[in-house]
Structure 1
Amino acid sequence: MLAPNDPSEDRMSMPRPGWRRGQRWLFAGVLVVLLCLLVANVIALTRHPQDRAEASSGPRRTLVEVSGSHCGKGWDAPAPGVQVFALHNTSAASAEVFLENPRSHVMYGEVEDIGPGTTRELTVRLGRGAYAFKCLPEDADAVTGPTVRIRKGRSGPAAAPVTTHDLIPPAIAYQKWVGEGLDKVARLAETLRDAVDRGDLGAARTAWLPAHLQYERMGAAYDAFGDADGRINGTDAGLPGGTHDKDFTGFHRVEFGLWHGQSAHELRAPAAALLKAVTALREDWAQTRMGPAQLGLRAHEILENTVQFELTGRTDFGSGSNLATARANVDGTSEVLSRLHPILARRYAHLPSLEGDLRDAGRTLDGLRDDGHWPPLERLSRTQRERVDARFGDLVEHLASVATLCDPRRTV
């Protein structure tokens, strides 16, 4: 507090240096705000009128009827841009709906399982071109609604639907490849069994990894393997006795014993059971038929499982070979994509990039090997781990598009 008659009182009416600095900052802040408002106004004025309308009122919404007799009824005022169609099923059966080009039949969007009396939304971006709704009622023929034309604008992505018929040739080719792979697994499993029988556990540890990796490369067929996959490549998850449970069998049971000090005597029965299960699967495979729809889905799931189980170490029972398994899974995914390439090349513009990313993932893993040996996950540096996780995370995301595109659709 200032004393009475203090000469400094005369300075109270003068601007203090601190006040001037505050004034300058206040002025600068106001100037920034004004500039931002000016830029925003310029952007708003230079936007396409359609974009300004969407920004102010949201996407155009249209109620469209789904039925055998009035498919597509209600879309009477076509316009370019983002559209939200409320698809209302007025029929007595569930229905699936496509929005397609009526001439080329490429699809811009679809909605499945619209129940009787229910409404589901479809959001798409439409531009210059011809469009029509195709309604596919359950247990009835497909019906195509009236053609609607838009004169300007750019549409969103579109792709021709894949049918079960399209997927049969690649499925047959892949099934043949799996049969050849099972022959190799059986031979390698026999080498493993023989090493255990001789009591040469060093040789058995050397033989275990090639046999396991050969099996892992056939990941797209696991669903077709049925219960045999659990006997061959199952883990102790859910077993009351864990790794000592009698139902813990296959590659990982042998792995656990080889890297946890079990004797050759203790491992003879598990190694023999593994060879028996692989041999039985190989013999049954000629009579097995893979569902064609599995290929696209498994192309995604192979690496999804890799991220979930291999790159977390959840399937390591002592060998420290998760990175080697991840590399085999990359090979398995590449094999599936090679079979699907003719289908995807006409439908997925990012296929070359995806295939390049898959090769890069393989090279990333290969670069982690030290003198031909795969390090366990815990020996990776943080940078190495982040690089691997990023590679595989991106791949899983992109492979989801493959699964979606290769989901077979009914078209008639």
Structure 2
Amino acid sequence: MHVRRLGVMLPASLLLVAGCSSAAVVKPASPGQDSGEGIQISTSHCGQGWTDPHAGPQDLRFTNTDTVSAEAYVVDVPRGAVYGEMEGLAPGVTRSLPITLGSGTYAIKCAVEDNDPIVGPSVHITGSSPGGPALVPVNYNDLYGPAREYQKYVAGGLKTLVAKTATLAADVDRGDLKAAKKSWLPAHLAYERLGAAYGTFGDFDGAIDGRPAGLPGGVHDPDFTGFHRVEYGLWHGESAKSVRSAADRLLKDVKALKADFPNEDLPPEDLPLRAHEILENTLQFELTGKSDEGSGTSLATAEANLEGTRHTLDVLRALLKPRYAALPQTDVQLDRVQSLLDAQNHGGTWTPLQDLSGTDRESIDGAVGDLLERLAPIATTLFPRGSQ
């Protein structure tokens, strides 16, 4: 998973504002000196050197005259909406930022590594040219509430997970593998609905929901554990004794996760990323059949992942409404994917992926792909830009 940090560039497809800096690097300046090459980014001279503020399309040139990496934002005054941003500007380096500015008052906000963000002097622009799109930024405090709400959701989901996994383990322990096949899916889906928290689970995620890919022994490797190990045993004719060991280990790991979760924190800045990543993983693993170890329930897992995505959006909705105009269309697309998946649920028995008609498979893949495109900008839209 790719978490956006200071100095790391997001894919251009995720940038909502005119904030993709040019890759061209101009002659380096000496750190701490005014190179004359561009608007200064530093703790002492933030925003100085903006000598030709004007309306319309333009390339602003920024020079990092500090001694550490920095980010620069073009913001309006006093609202603070971001019209452009540049990331990972190394000391002594000058880069260009394509941007369109309209009539108004603007300033440069400098985020220098290991320092609080500061705002430079204001400049006033007149003219009739319309400005480019702007993004009202969020800060870390804005995301704490949604993160706490999601943690409560996960805590409740873990209780359900333990109960359903205990049922699965009990069925296996008494040798009733037919019943175990029925109880496996509800237990597995209880885990899959917790999508946005998987990064917080650490090693538990691999132990509980890992795949055999990459293990020397494949499905027979002793490090292949969790739901998919139990799935493999149940649908490949293993004995109750063989499956029992995997099921007991799974229940132990699930209980340990529940006990450990109160000590874990979901980083607030990770939540917007998960809105896209959950279904990205679904497209990569569930909708290709890579995660199926015999149960044929990939589409049920996809629906559980969709539910996790929907809940992630719900806790972020108040922040998204004033910032992401495509949110209503995203909700429509969520419902479309839901409808397509529901059509493959026949009273609790799901169509195996390989039994889908070509038309149905293309419809599901296309709808999920379209939904991913609509979800992708959320990571940038809600990326916290400073503490103020």
Q: Same fold (TM over 0.5)?
A: yes
Alignment identity in percent?
A: 50
- Between stretches 201-210 and 138-147, larger displacement belongs to 138-147
**Does the CA-based 8 Å contact 1:89-1:115 persist in structure 2?**
yes
Structure 2: distance between partners of 1:173 and 1:411: 20
**Does the CA-based 8 Å contact 1:134-1:145 persist in structure 2?**
no
Structure 2: distance between partners of 1:337 and 1:216: 16
Q: Residues 263-303 of structure 1, C-alpha deviation per residue, up to 9 Å, x if partnerless?
A: 11111110011011001111111222211111111111101
Partner SS, residue 219 of structure 2: helix
Following superposition, which runs of at least 4 residues in structure 1 exceed 6 angstroms of deviation? Answer: none
Q: 1:190 aligns with which of 148, 166, 169?
A: 166
Name the structure 2 match of 1:90: 65
| Offset, 1:86 | 2.1
Structure 2: distance between partners of 1:208 and 1:122: 53
Structure 1: distance between partners of 2:196 and 2:140: 17
- Between stretches 202-211 and 84-93, larger displacement belongs to 84-93
- Between stretches 117-126 and 140-149, larger displacement belongs to 140-149
Structure 2 unpaired stretches of 5+: 1-36
Partner SS, residue 360 of structure 2: helix
Aligned partner of 2:299: which letter?
A: L
Aligned partner of 1:135: which letter?
A: C
Name the structure 2 match of 1:79: 54
Structure 1: distance between partners of 2:382 and 2:247: 38
Structure 2: distance between partners of 1:140 and 1:261: 60
- Between stretches 354-363 and 203-212, larger displacement belongs to 354-363
More helix by share: 1
Structure 2: distance between partners of 1:188 and 1:88: 57
Q: Which has the larger radius of gyration?
A: 1
Alignment of structure 1 residues 255-270 onto 2, 5 Å: 255-270=231-246
| Offset, 1:78 | 3.1
Matched, 1:340 2:312: no
Q: 1:231 aligns with which of 195, 201, 207?
A: 207
**Does the CA-based 8 Å contact 1:65-1:73 persist in structure 2?**
yes
Q: Which structure carries more relative contact order (alpha carbon 8 Å, separation 6+)?
A: 2
Q: 2:180 aligns with which of 204, 227, 245?
A: 204
**Does the CA-based 8 Å contact 1:70-1:145 persist in structure 2?**
no
Partner SS, residue 120 of structure 1: strand
Name the structure 2 match of 1:4: none
Name the structure 2 match of 1:113: 88
| Offset, 1:411 | 4.9
Name the structure 1 match of 2:98: 123
| Offset, 1:343 | 1.0
CA shift in 2, pair 1:109/1:296, >3 Å: same
Q: 2:342 aligns with which of 366, 370, 382?
A: 366
Structure 1 unpaired stretches of 5+: 1-61
Name the structure 2 match of 1:67: 42
Q: Residues 93-117 of structure 1, C-alpha deviation per residue, up to 9 Å, x if partnerless?
A: 2211111112100111111221110
**Does the CA-based 8 Å contact 2:107-2:119 persist in structure 1?**
no
Q: Residues 246-271 of structure 1, C-alpha deviation per residue, up to 9 Å, x if partnerless?
A: 01000000000011011111111100
Q: 1:386 aligns with which of 362, 365, 377?
A: 362
CA RMSD of aligned residues (A): 1.6
